[in-house]
Amino acid sequence: MAEFTLELNDDQKQVRDWLHGFAADVIRPAASEWDEREETPWPVIQEAAKVGIYSLDFYAQQFFDPTGLGIPMAMEELFWGDAGIALSIVGTGLAAVGVLANGTEEQIGTWIPQMYGDADDVKVAAFCSSEPDAGSDVASMRTRAVYDQAKDEWVLNGTKTWATNGGIANVHVVVAVVDPELGSKGHASFIVPPNTPGLSQGQKFKKHGIRASHTAEVVLEDVRVPGHCLLGGKDKLDQRLARARERAATGGERVKNAAMATFEASRPAVGAMAVGTARAAYEVALDYAKTRTQFGRPIIDNQGIAFQLADMRTQIDAARLLVWRASWMATTGKPFESAEGSMSKLYASETAKKVTAQAVQILGGNGFTREYPVERMHRDAAIYTIFEGTSEIQRLVIARTLSGMPIR
């Protein structure tokens, strides 16, 4: 078991510097253009694929880093470059995590490579969980999956929303209800292969931030997928459903559903994304405060500005420490007994919103214009307190874990 450390080793530092260089040289110069266009930055994704950043091998290396710091380190550097473009580069990872968390070895080996494609033919994937009436309330999910035993096929019907890469993905991972009586315990995840009839893109959302990342509805109309596209397999599903029914009848312990297993694995990574955006805004504000003069001196000479920057840096470092702790715990198999994963996502996302707002304030009128990147960073930061579990949901998870009570 790797010991927890705050010092990156030489290999990790080399990867960090490589990613930082890509973020500085490729992502940042393209950030404003793709934010304005509100389109998927395919050329940037392809550049990331060419150098090996957008690839299964790269994410596997970071995912299996024994210290647990590979993924959060990578997320922070890429999102330091730009949140919208970075999310387009890493968005496929959520679908991949869904397969890793719930799939068999054969499914992992079959589908994850198809999610990425290669440098000459880049692909993306989508994880589809949220619905118009079921965001945080996963028990209200309506998308149904019905098993056709005669054909060994699952038939999916419903509408998913807020899906990153939804509709444009090569592979969709869809969470659906297989047993409505079990609520959130009656869910399962399915692979929808490329070009499957019945799957279509619904509304594409025009968003406040992360505009370079494609977000849309996914409509499923009598979508038929082979039995082997049920993640984990039917035997495992039947066993899990039987346990859930038994526990429901006896009032036993709760069973985690497929979507929550994916989100628990990814929350520290989202926290790292937020740290990257916050750090970027802080650095712009610090540089600006050193060079902007008012009343004959740099504005950082004023305590009102200097103290804000001190607080910003302190909060960013604290957020990173929470993210690193949760990532290390997840990798080394330590249980989140105090909801450390949710803690890291909660604090980092709230820090990103606060720090980017302070950066806009420090830049004053300039910070309110698109001539300076903090305006975009502030818009981008709003998403961290919303997706993959709102801040309110994170607080609920933490409070329930600490108290053992069914807090509502």
- Catalytic residue ranges: 388
Residue type present at position 183: G
- Distance (Å, whole) CA 339 – CA 260: 13
- Distance (Å, whole) CA 173 – CA 108: 12
The tokens of 200 are what? 């279509």
Q: What are phi and psi of 316, to 5 degrees?
A: -65, -45
Q: What are phi and psi of 237, to 5 degrees?
A: -65, -45
Q: Do residues 30 and 44 lie in contact, with contact meaning Cβ atoms separated by under 8 Å?
A: yes
- 3-state class (DSSP) for residue 177: strand
Q: Do residues 103 and 112 lie in contact, with contact meaning Cβ atoms separated by under 8 Å?
A: no
* Dihedral Cα 389, 391, 397, 401, nearest 10 deg: 140
Q: Do residues 15 and 73 lie in contact, with contact meaning Cβ atoms separated by under 8 Å?
A: yes
* Contacting residues for 393 by C-beta, under 8 A, at least 6 apart: 136
Q: Do residues 231 and 102 lie in contact, with contact meaning Cβ atoms separated by under 8 Å?
A: yes
* Dihedral Cα 108, 204, 265, 125, nearest 10 deg: 20
Report how far Cα 3 is from the mean position of its chain's Cα atoms: 26
Give the 3-state secondary structure percentages of the chain, helix then strand then coil, rounded to 5. 60, 15, 25
Q: Do residues 215 and 166 lie in contact, with contact meaning Cβ atoms separated by under 8 Å?
A: yes
The tokens of 282 are what? 């802080």
**Which phi-psi region, left, alpha or beta, contains residue 68 (left: φ > 0; alpha: ψ -120 to 50)?**
left
**Which phi-psi region, left, alpha or beta, contains residue 389 (left: φ > 0; alpha: ψ -120 to 50)?**
left
